Structure 1
Amino acid sequence: MKFNHRIGLIVLLQICLFSITCWGIIPPLKEKSKDKRPLIVFVAGDHEYSGESTLPLLADILEKNYGFRTKVLKSYPDQNAEKNIPGLEVLAEADLAVFFLRWRLLPADQVAMIDAYVKSGKPVMGFRTTTHSFNYPKGDPLESYNAWAETTFGAPPGWGGKSKHTHYGHNASTDASVIPSASKHPILTGVAPNFHVRSWLYRVLPDYPVKGTEWLIMGKAVNPDKTAEDQPIAWTWVNPYKGRVFFTTMGHPEDFSVEAFQRLIVNAIHWELGKKVPKNWAGKLDINIPYRGMK
């Protein structure tokens, strides 16, 4: 039998490639994930409202009941650690990013990963203290990010300041009412027209939410510590980067045990991802996290 030099050369090359790959000279090709389910990345880092506890429970339900993939990122080593949220690299793969932040001082490389996601035009969702996500000192190179919520969510640009963004006292709570003109919005499918949440009402008017937002729900302060005006507490928007936005100033941990609020959030996640909002609701979700305050 004649030796076929061409076949022999091909076999030799294959053996060589296999060998050097095994020895680590050439890394094996990384297979792309075959999982086509939308990826939702939750980013938690607030001192007060236990986002690091409520968001993982919500993520688990979204995976089990609604067919999403989720990843939860948390401030490390705990909610009071303002300078590190490991794993933000995964935002590059995310289809939706959900933020629950408060006065972080993240390093520039981590802020850059958040910034790149938002500027990609992908959808964003924010809860409560995300209006004041960052708290860099005056003169810091990242000081402008203290107003990040304005361009990202159409929310007030940080706490206090010219917008006088504040609340009506920790002993207050909020009566929530669907705005009649918005009642047909898909996010409000099956949401009770009136419900009560523990969140004390945030003041955002008169200048916020920004022009072009669509208000969905108004809040009325119950037992306020000062004269209170009704305020929008949930809205949608398309931000300057063409990303769909859902924002709510609700987010107290006890809010997550309220069925109307639960359905609002599940609906909003579907809407932001361009998915049909579920008409059928399986019932109240098991999310019961007590308020811990600042610890």
Structure 2
Amino acid sequence: MRKKIVILFSVYLLAFALLFSTSLRAQSTSKKPLVVFVTGDHEYSGEFTLPLIAAELEKNYNMRVKVLKSSPDQNAEENIPGLEALKEADLAVFYLRWRRLPAEQVKYIDDYLKSGKPIMGFRTSTHSFNYPAGHPLEKWNAFGEFALGSPPGWGGKANHTHCGHECSTDVTVIPEAAKHPILKGVDPSFHVRSWLYKVIPDYPAKGATWLLMGKAVNPDKPNYADNPVAWTWKTANGARVFATTMGHPEDFQVESFQRLVINAIHWTLNKPVPDTWKGKLDINVPYRGMTKN
């Protein structure tokens, strides 16, 4: 009888240890922020560059990630499977261009924006949606304005345009922003392949903090003005925002740009920006331009 009691007690102890271990693992996972990347941009291969950033977050920065892609390819404007992941996201990162998602998918994005959780957007996310006039979701064409503090879509009254495809951009830290955490370890000046987007004079939106200024190199338009290429902002729902008009795949080869992105992810999550840089990432995604597949 005594032996039986000892065996049962041992079984109970083992079961308790297993449950406790499982609980600790679950708590450890739940403490890791979930970053959801939403991609589909036709041109700049965001569905290839951002997974490499995501992998770095998992490997070196104690984060969970999920990358969503337009289906069946980057040109599919009406379907991004898996957007329900935004319900659990701690940060949503957008790299979109002229999507026409169905209402049931847009609702996941709408609910996320209403939650006040942080937002990041790359380049063509200033014109993420392109619904026809009179469409019930036409207001989403201004996603850039209400989610990122950018112009409300391409062209329009803001004359949101760029300096030409042969143009590139010299980037410099704006002196007043030099001590901003997002700029920790970022070189005072660097060069990116992205052709400079025009957002001034009315954007970034009121209340934004400009971080980096871009100067057009070899623009196809004379006297092309300098424009901010990265800024922070806060939405009407109180969400922390980081937006950049950079994002050409060759930009992701530039170490300062890589560090800017990793820093911004931490900052938007309200986490300390890492003091130690883990080193340059191996990102070599070619620019494909506008292709059919």
**Does TM-score exceed 0.5, indicating one fold?**
yes
Q: SS of 1:274's equivalent?
A: coil
Q: Computing the radius of gyration over CA atoms, which structure comes out larger, 1 or 2?
A: 1
- Trace 1:192-231 onto structure 2 (pairs within 5 A): 192-227=187-222, 228-231=224-227
2:157 maps to amino acid? K
Question: Which residue of structure 2 lines up, in the alignment, with residue 238 of structure 1?
Answer: 234
User: Normalising to structure 1: TM-score of the pair?
Assistant: 0.88
In the alignment, does 2:262 pair up with 1:266? yes
Structure 1 residue 264: Cα displacement: 0.3
2:270 maps to amino acid? G
1:131 maps to amino acid? T
Deviations 1:49-78 (A, max 9, x none): 000000111100110011100000000000
Q: SS of 1:266's equivalent?
A: helix
Q: SS of 1:163's equivalent?
A: coil
* CA distance in structure 2 between the partners assigned to 1:237 and 1:204 by the alignment: 15
* CA distance in structure 1 between the partners assigned to 2:189 and 2:121 by the alignment: 22
2:244 maps to amino acid? T
- Trace 1:107-186 onto structure 2 (pairs within 5 A): 107-186=102-181
* CA distance in structure 1 between the partners assigned to 2:26 and 2:76 by the alignment: 32
Instruction: After the TM superposition, list the runs of 4 or more consecutive aligned residues in structure 1 that deviate by more than 6 angstroms.
Output: none
In the alignment, does 2:278 pair up with 1:292? no
- Trace 1:28-39 onto structure 2 (pairs within 5 A): 33-34=26-27, 35-36=29-30, 37-39=32-34
Deviations 1:163-192 (A, max 9, x none): 000000000000000001100000000100
Question: Which residue of structure 1 lines up, in the alignment, with residue 78 of structure 2?
Answer: 83
User: Normalising to structure 2: TM-score of the pair?
Assistant: 0.89
* CA distance in structure 2 between the partners assigned to 1:133 and 1:80 by the alignment: 13
* CA distance in structure 1 between the partners assigned to 2:54 and 2:245 by the alignment: 20
In the alignment, does 2:66 pair up with 1:71? yes
Q: SS of 1:161's equivalent?
A: coil
Give the unaligned 5+ runs of structure 1.
Answer: 1-31
Deviations 1:196-247 (A, max 9, x none): 0000000000111111000000000000000210000000011101000000
2:271 maps to amino acid? K
Q: CA RMSD in A?
A: 0.9
Structure 1 residue 33: Cα displacement: 5.0
2:144 maps to amino acid? A
